[in-house]
Chains A and B, each alone.
Chain A
Amino acid sequence: MRDTMIDPKILANHNLTPGEYELIVSLIGREPNLTELGVFSAMWSEHCSYKSSKFYLKQLPTQGRAVVQGPGENAGIIDIGDGQVIVFKIESHNHPSYIEPFQGAATGVGGILRDIFTMGARPIALLDSLRFGPLDSPKNRSIMEGVVSGISSYGNSIGVPTVGGEIYFGENYALNPLVNVFCLGLAEKDKIFYAKAEGIGNAVLYVGSKTGRDGIHGATMASAEFVKETEHKRPNVQVGDPFKEKLLVEACLEVMDKGVIVGIQDMGAAGLTCSTAEMPAKSGTGIEIDLDLVPQREEGMTPYEILLSESQERMLIVARPDKVREVREIFAKWDLDAVEIGRVIEGGRMKVRFQGEIVVDVPVSAVVDLCPIYQRPVAPPAPPRTASDVPPVPVPDDLGAIFGKLLASPTIANKEWVFRQYDHMVQTNTMVLPGADAAVLRLKGSRKALAVSLDGNSLYARLDPRTGGKIAVAEACRNLACVGARPIGVTNCLNFGSPEKPEVMRQFKEAVAGLSEACLAFEIPVTGGNVSFYNDTEGASIYPTPVLGVVGLVQDIDRVVTPGFKGEGDAVVLIGACTGELGGSEYLKVAHGREDGIPPTIDLAMERAVQETCVEAAESGLLASAHDLSEGGLAVAAAESAFAGPGRLGCRLDLDGGLRPDALLFGEAQSRILVTVAAAGLPALLELAAKRGVPAAVVGEVGGPAIRIAQKGSVLIDIPVDAARAAWMDAIPAYFKIGEG
């Protein structure tokens, strides 16, 4: 068969170094042909191989009593009792979302859904963590609109509720928006399926949508920076069909329920290549397939194209020959292709035929397990800074005006414009709707509920990646505590610039160290996750952005707590200590145009004690409301609690002196939760806090038409709830009014 000579230019286009090429040659015992080069290019890409991150990810704590499956499979699995398990993971789809926001985001949703149901779990919830450039720019608005529409379109159509998430804005994301999608599924403990290719002679079936030319080298694109010519990468973006995926979910769950398959793997990054290589690699076998049998929707596709296409909504299934007919019948019922394209073989090789000839013949271990692991150069630690290194911050004259500005800043402002485009109620499990600290899903037939939160703060991570990593975990768990849940498992999405920059590697190394430290301190296992490197354009990297997805359990649905103020006269109690730290705060950015400083300190032991106090109080039925303090500090947390309550009651707070007023109101000291209790429950709450050595003080009461916060009797802000709410509600919709330019 004619083939192209592999020269340095071709190698560069495939994102492989000369060193990697030499290793490939030595592993397979000869030069690869172009198709084989494509296979290695995709599988050895950063996105698929984790070659620059694996070395550091190994330190993440992954053990736990309830862990059924840790990192290494399509998703992580945690036992939640009563014969049930949860299956969950977070994935990034950053690069495609800049090129083609709608499809980039939509297929991000499609991809993570497949990672969940391929393991036998019905997807029950989606959450997303999004980051865009500032909304003043039409281009950034266009990207946000496309991404939200894409997530909405895919999630709604397939019938999985999008129940929460986070959205941040920052100039560093303008050319590198971030779209991280999290999915949670529910399965029975004894009906979990893995990506196994066991049983020599077993059939290999291709099921789902036909293969086209979309998304070729999607994985490779995600493993390189953007440059000026980036627009022409549009064919690298996959195109999704949620209707097809809905049929796929039903058909797959049905064949799994009937127990007629041996193994299953979705075709995600690196398409057919990935599943064909990974399934036998895990089982010590090999696979032989015939590309002529692959259902195609384009004419004249080459083996290279068929193998590397990232056409969506496709799975690879291994089944015993005597079960093939039943598998095909079930897929036919759902009007989906199910074609036998090969079989499981001995010898540990991936063999691919096309028009009667072998076009790929390589050991699966070479493709899957033997990609080099890099310890890239890491910049030396940044010199430690002290408070005296930070230029002073002037106290503003008009704190009320600053408060209004913060409420109207898109990162803090109300996100209804976004989440009302998502069906967040389908499947009738959503107990706490978007807008609260965490999403809460009831478990039918049980008194328990699941809680989920996604969190990350890149302003902190940029200033001190280790602290940023720790705080990401702390905040996610704190959000769970606010609804009355304890964390049981973590998945992480690590978004960084190019690993070829020592400074980025330093950020990565430190962030992962921070994540590990916090997960160990809170005793929660990391069950898997995703690393997205190369989020740079024209040499400029994004801020380090570690995003955490934490899942928790509420023991009793009657004890779920929500953030809104409930009763006139309820005592407002601040759990935790106000330190007045301003570094990396939203206030510093919005009011002073600065992103410098030292991020807030995080005392993991104190954080855990604060969370435990809150959960215990919730379980004892003491709390009328709970809300964590994050961006915008105490003032914004009080305002959000006022907006969220059924009567939109305000509050009258009076805090101790000592701190400067702006630091008191807007500082982002960690480990703080604002709760309210009916007067009768106050002594019990304070006792719970004292027992755990956690500071807790009554700072005021719920009531009145305004958010009034004073310091030692001197009123700092006094704004009617309605007026504050209007500014908070209108901020984001104002950017998207139809008919304006």
Chain B
Amino acid sequence: MKFGVVVFPGSNCDADALHAVRDVMGQAARFLWHKDHDLRGVDCVVLPGGFSYGDYLRSGAIARFSPLMREVREFADRGGLVLGICNGFQVLLELGLLPGAMLRNKHLKFLCRYVHLRLENERTRFTHLGRKGQVLRIPIAHFDGNYYAPPETLKEIEDNGRVVFRYADADGRPTAEANVNGSLHNIAGLINAQGNVLGMMPHPERAAEPLLGSADGRVIFESLISKF
């Protein structure tokens, strides 16, 4: 399977994402420069974490206008796989490829720590090798990860099972205490209606090797790769 990791000015986790898919998961992978207009025939586009454009204006607000985003949108419309991680998720929200917006963390500080996630929807291209209710230990690192969507949108997301991950406790319960940033409904990751675009705030590329503390993020990459 061929992965393409988009590099914006200010992207920080691009090399980490490439390392995860290429060196850890053994897949073909390359960087895609934001100023190009060519997705180079990749099967999955990854929008990595970081501080694209320094988070000026709003996180992801400027990156969504990068030249390559035209091709990414067309690719997504055609059913191509897109994985947005952290800042990548924020770019997808700004592009409108996913509904909602990110606000500042409720306690007003940047937060880097491991969290537990409850896998809510195992019937996606990104999670089909996991189990519904499975608890994953994956780290977050963000200042603006407080997910918001207006009530009607939220209802639509929930009714259609488009929430993929929720912040939860070690037993998989999405409690208020487990909600580290104030996200509505403890939403940590969601998918689009077509099922080919996933955005998540936690960093699965940081949880792909046991030696770093957790390999629970692998299920996402393994699920993507398994059908190729």
Contacts and interface: CB of A to CB of B under 8 A. Distances in A.
Interface of A: 152-153, 156-159, 241-244, 246-247, 334-335, 419-428, 430-431, 433, 442, 444, 557, 738
Contacts of A152: 110
Contacts of A419: 112
Contacts of B111: 420-421
13 contacts: A156-B112, A242-B54, A244-B54, A419-B112, A421-B111, A421-B112, A424-B112, A425-B139, A428-B16, A428-B20, A428-B212, A430-B212, A444-B23
B16 A427 contact: yes
The DSSP consensus for interface residues of chain B is mixed
Contacts of B141: 156, 423, 425-426
Contact of B54 (A157, A421, A430): A157
Interface of B: 9-10, 12-13, 15-16, 19-20, 23, 49-51, 53-56, 107-113, 139, 141, 143, 203, 205-206, 209, 211-213
Contacts of B108: 738
A77 to B, nearest CB: 23
A442 B20 CA distance: 15
B213 to A, nearest CB: 7
A243 B110 contact: no
Contacts of B113: 420
Nearest to B143: A156
Contact of B9 (A241, A335, A420, A425): A335
Nearest to B33: A333
B50 A159 contact: yes
A246 B53 CA distance: 10
B203 to A, nearest CB: 7
Given A159-B51, A425-B112, A557 B211 contact: yes
Contact of A427 (B15, B54, B107): B15
Contacts of B143: 156
Contacts of A158: 12, 51
Contacts of A427: 15-16
Contacts of B23: 444
Nearest to A242: B54
Given A159-B13, A420-B113, A421-B112, 20 more contacts: A156-B141, A157-B51, A157-B55, A158-B12, A243-B9, A246-B9, A247-B9, A420-B110, A422-B110, A423-B112, A424-B112, A425-B139, A426-B49, A428-B19, A428-B212, A430-B212, A431-B213, A433-B213, A442-B212, A444-B19
Contact of B206 (A153, A159, A421, A428): A428
A736 to B, nearest CB: 9
Among B9, B13, B55, the most chain A Cβ lie within 10 Å of the Cβ of B9
B110 A423 contact: yes
Nearest to A336: B9
A3 B4 CA distance: 60
Given A158-B12, A159-B13, A427-B16, A243 B56 contact: yes
B162 to A, nearest CB: 28
Contacts of B49: 426
Contacts of B10: 157, 243, 246-247
A431 B211 contact: yes
A740 to B, nearest CB: 14
Contacts, number: 85
Nearest to B52: A243
Nearest to A244: B54
A557 B211 CA distance: 8
B9 A426 contact: no
Nearest to B180: A420
Contacts of B112: 156, 419-425
A168 to B, nearest CB: 22
A388 B146 CA distance: 61
Given A152-B110, A159-B50, A420-B113, A334 B205 contact: no
Nearest to A736: B109
Contacts of B56: 243
A152 B141 CA distance: 11
Contacts of B209: 428
Contacts of A247: 9-10
A445 B213 CA distance: 18
Given A159-B13, A420-B113, A425-B139, A243 B211 contact: no
B51 A156 contact: yes
A738 B13 contact: no
Given A433-B213, A444-B19, A334 B54 contact: no
A156 B110 contact: yes
A157 B20 CA distance: 21
A375 B35 CA distance: 57
A243 B53 contact: yes
Contacts of B12: 158-159, 246, 426
A241 B54 contact: yes
A244 B56 CA distance: 12
A541 B203 CA distance: 46
B125 to A, nearest CB: 24
Contacts of B15: 427
Contacts of A335: 9
The 9 closest A-B pairs by CB, nearest first: A243-B54, A159-B12, A423-B141, A157-B51, A428-B16, A423-B112, A421-B110, A425-B206, A243-B10
Nearest to A444: B19
Contacts of A430: 212
A603 to B, nearest CB: 36
A636 to B, nearest CB: 24
B146 to A, nearest CB: 15
B110 to A, nearest CB: 5
Contacts of A157: 10, 51, 54-55
Contacts of B110: 152-153, 156, 420-423
A158 B13 CA distance: 10
Contacts of A242: 51, 54
A425 B203 contact: yes
Contacts of B9: 243, 246-247, 334-335
Among A420, A428, A738, the most chain B Cβ lie within 10 Å of the Cβ of A428
B54 A442 contact: no
A691 B130 CA distance: 52
A152 B108 CA distance: 13
A496 B212 CA distance: 39
Nearest to B14: A159
A459 B7 CA distance: 48
Contacts of A156: 51, 110, 112, 141, 143
Contacts of A426: 12-13, 16, 49, 141
Contacts of A423: 110, 112, 141
Contacts of A442: 211-212
Nearest to B141: A423
B6 to A, nearest CB: 15
A612 B51 CA distance: 43
A421 B211 contact: no
Contacts of B139: 425
Contacts of B51: 156-159, 242-243, 246
Contacts of A444: 19, 23
B140 to A, nearest CB: 10
A428 B15 CA distance: 9
